[in-house]
């Protein structure tokens, strides 16, 4: 799970979580709870739109956590009705210097046949070209978000109803998208043909819910029904769930990093508990890269399940050698110089008495810039560890993601510029091992490993093989991996 604080620029960050409910009283309350459970997918801001027969569409969009913005009686009373959708976001693919409340989703458009709101998880890779074209033709954009293109394309569609307008719009769009949308009477869910981002369907009482992850169904007491399929559009009304497949079918490529890090360990992906998958990764890692040591310690909290798996496989005792300060938050406004320099020590402390003199295996989910890994290594050595061995629950992250994840530029990725051995030296640890790409595929259930000619997942961040051409980025000068 992505940590919440501003000093941690050393993780990839999921950019969005989406949730929608139809057919219950005060649907927005459920949406607030669902978004709270999805907060790990986006902490910067959140928004909810609801519809009530009498009052029409209502919306609230705020910076900050769901729990601080969408739990009070006062706010929730402004969002009545049996139909609501919501969105949490980490940051926008737009201009980050100018992040404004107008960039916070759901986006809303009033069309001739009535209003619609949409919440988007993913990233449109041809947004720049679409935006230029739409402005030429007289559309006025309110945000710097790529997602706003969808609503303008819908506004200009000649179709007579909103789901068809959405199909029209999405056929123009390239990239990754899982979408939850609503009209006055319909809740709509869509996944792009590759199914890069997750989207699941749940049953809540007499109503229905759509969610990025199953953990958000649990919090509202909804039953998990099934995943929305890649390329599927579901239109839910009081008559039930209709399913469409408006796009040309292709082989799916679900994001493998959802298994490694983005999704919550209590969510179910592809029929498997994310926690168990991560424990499996730890076991695979212990098989691939064993080492003699006294303790297996997770880098909390995201390294925990893999560390448990590593311990179970290797028989080396599991211990909490690093303790997280649970009162760490993100609200450091204009911090003092001293605070700014504290970095990871504000969040983590080494369990000195435990570590002293021990050979320690540290299990982390990934290495991005490597800055945090270095600091943790220093803390562990300061505390008197005899040896430090890093085991990483993902392959080297060498390529940026353009499908809805906030990644540093390629040159900032440690693995883009160094071999595993150089990284080990750079981090100054006794050993450093990443799980292999095949090992990771095995851990997620592909017994034969990765199918090279037609990979079962999107693993572009590891392999550099992008299943959708990143047009906007190519335009800006990004260079893709040379064909082999």
Residues tagged active-site: 16
Work out whether 223 is an interface residue with a copy of itself (CB under 8 A): no
Radius of gyration of the chain (CA): 23
Question: Which two three-digit tokens encode residue 217?
Answer: 């169904």
Pick the stretch among 45-53, 187-195, 267-275, 286-294 that binds a copy of itself (CB under 8 A): 267-275
Toward a copy of itself, which CB reaches closer, 222 or 468? Answer: 222
Toward a copy of itself, which CB reaches closer, 167 or 438? Answer: 167
Toward a copy of itself, which CB reaches closer, 234 or 348? Answer: 348
d(CA 482, CA 335): 44
Please check whether residue 2 is in contact with residue 164, taking contact to mean a CB–CB distance below 8 angstroms.
no
Only one residue has tokens 């002293």, namely 356
Cβ-based neighbour number of residue 246 at 10 Å: 16
Interface pick for a copy of itself out of 305, 395, 396, 467 (rule CB under 8 A): 305
Sign of CA dihedral 312, 313, 314, 319: negative
- Phi and psi at 194, nearest 5°, equal -80, -20
x/- mask, a copy of itself, residues 49-78, rule CB under 8 A, reads ----------------xxxx--xxxx-x--
Work out whether 363 is an interface residue with a copy of itself (CB under 8 A): no
Work out whether 102 is an interface residue with a copy of itself (CB under 8 A): yes
Q: Reduce the DSSP state of residue 364 to 3 states and report it.
A: strand
* Least distance in angstroms from the C-beta of 115 to a copy of itself: 10
Work out whether 421 is an interface residue with a copy of itself (CB under 8 A): no
Contacting a copy of itself within 10-39 (CB under 8 A): 26, 29, 32-33, 36-37, 39
- Phi and psi at 353, nearest 5°, equal -60, -30
Contacting a copy of itself within 268-287 (CB under 8 A): 268, 272-273, 275-276, 279
Only one residue has tokens 């009686």, namely 73
d(CA 63, CA 92): 13
- Phi and psi at 355, nearest 5°, equal -80, -30
Question: Which two three-digit tokens encode residue 467?
Answer: 């299943």
Pick the stretch among 197-205, 310-318, 454-462, 466-474 that binds a copy of itself (CB under 8 A): 310-318
* Least distance in angstroms from the C-beta of 256 to a copy of itself: 19
Which residues lie below 8 Å from residue 459, measured CB to CB, with a gap of 6+? 256, 257, 395, 437, 440, 450, 465
Contacting a copy of itself within 433-472 (CB under 8 A): none
Toward a copy of itself, which CB reaches closer, 326 or 453? Answer: 326
d(CA 262, CA 249): 26
Toward a copy of itself, which CB reaches closer, 3 or 175? Answer: 3
- Phi and psi at 88, nearest 5°, equal -120, 145
Ranges of H-type helices in 173-270 = 215-219, 257
Pick the stretch among 183-191, 264-272, 421-429, 466-474 that binds a copy of itself (CB under 8 A): 264-272
Q: 401: annotated binding-site residue?
A: yes
Interface pick for a copy of itself out of 328, 381, 416, 480 (rule CB under 8 A): 328
Q: Which residues pair with 409 in a beta bridge?
A: none
Q: 454: annotated binding-site residue?
A: no
d(CA 178, CA 198): 7
Pick the stretch among 8-16, 298-306, 440-448, 452-460 that binds a copy of itself (CB under 8 A): 298-306
Interface pick for a copy of itself out of 171, 238, 325, 384 (rule CB under 8 A): 325
Please check whether residue 298 is in contact with residue 304, taking contact to mean a CB–CB distance below 8 angstroms.
yes
Please check whether residue 347 is in contact with residue 325, taking contact to mean a CB–CB distance below 8 angstroms.
yes
Interface pick for a copy of itself out of 62, 63, 91, 156 (rule CB under 8 A): 156
Toward a copy of itself, which CB reaches closer, 306 or 432? Answer: 306
Toward a copy of itself, which CB reaches closer, 66 or 124? Answer: 66
Q: 364: annotated binding-site residue?
A: yes
Work out whether 264 is an interface residue with a copy of itself (CB under 8 A): yes
Binding residues, as ranges, are: 255, 302, 364-365, 401, 458, 461
Binding residues for [4Fe-4S] cluster, as ranges, are: 255, 401, 458, 461
Binding residues for Mg(2+), as ranges, are: 302, 364-365
């Amino acid at each position: 799970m992505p940590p919440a604080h501003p000093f941690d620029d050393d993780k990839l960050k999921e950019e969005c979580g989406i949730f929608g409910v139809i057919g219950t009283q005060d649907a927005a309350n459920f949406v607030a709870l669902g978004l709270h459970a999805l907060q790990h997918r986006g902490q910067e801001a959140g928004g909810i739109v609801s519809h009530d027969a009498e009052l029409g569409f209502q919306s609230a969009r705020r910076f900050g956590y769901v729990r601080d913005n969408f739990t009070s009686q006062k706010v929730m009373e402004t969002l009545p009705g049996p139909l609501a959708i919501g969105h949490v976001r980490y940051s926008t693919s737009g201009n980050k210097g100018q992040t404004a409340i107008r960039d916070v989703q759901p986006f809303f458009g009033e069309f001739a046949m009535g209003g619609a709101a949409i919440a988007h998880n993913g990233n449109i890779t041809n947004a720049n070209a679409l935006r230029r074209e739409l402005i030429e033709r007289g559309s006025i954009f309110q945000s710097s978000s790529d997602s706003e293109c969808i609503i303008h394309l819908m506004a200009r569609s000649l179709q007579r109803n909103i789901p068809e307008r959405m199909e029209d719009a999405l056929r123009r769009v390239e990239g990754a998208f899982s979408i939850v949308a609503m009209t006055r009477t319909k809740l709509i869910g869509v996944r792009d043909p590759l199914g890069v981002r997750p989207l699941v369907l749940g049953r809540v009482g007499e109503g229905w819910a759509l969610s990025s992850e199953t953990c958000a169904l649990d919090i509202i007491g909804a039953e998990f029904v099934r995943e929305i399929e890649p390329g599927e559009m579901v239109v839910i009304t009081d008559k039930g769930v209709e399913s469409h497949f408006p796009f040309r079918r292709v082989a799916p490529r679900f994001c493998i990093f959802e298994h490694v890090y983005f999704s919550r360990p209590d969510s179910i992906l592809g029929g498997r508990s994310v926690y168990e998958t991560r424990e499996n990764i730890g076991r695979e890692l212990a098989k691939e890269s064993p080492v003699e040591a006294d303790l297996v310690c997770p880098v909390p909290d995201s390294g925990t399940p893999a560390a448990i798996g590593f311990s179970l496989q290797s028989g080396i005792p599991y211990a909490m050698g690093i303790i997280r300060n649970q009162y760490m938050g993100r609200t450091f406004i204009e911090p003092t110089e001293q605070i700014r320099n504290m970095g990871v020590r504000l969040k983590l402390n080494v369990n000195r008495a435990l570590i002293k003199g021990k050979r320690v295996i540290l299990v982390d989910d990934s290495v991005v810039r490597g800055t945090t890994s270095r600091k943790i290594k220093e803390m562990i050595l300061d505390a008197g560890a005899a040896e430090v061995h890093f085991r990483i629950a993902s392959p080297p992250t060498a390529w940026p993601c353009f499908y809805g994840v906030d990644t540093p530029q390629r040159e900032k990725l440690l693995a883009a510029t160094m071999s595993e051995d150089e990284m080990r030296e750079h981090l100054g640890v006794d050993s450093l091992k990443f799980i292999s790409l095949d090992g990771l595929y095995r851990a997620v259930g592909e017994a034969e490993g990765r199918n090279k000619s037609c990979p079962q997942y999107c693993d572009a961040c590891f392999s550099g093989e992008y299943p959708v051409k990143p047009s906007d980025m190519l335009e800006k000068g990004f260079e893709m991996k040379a064909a082999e």
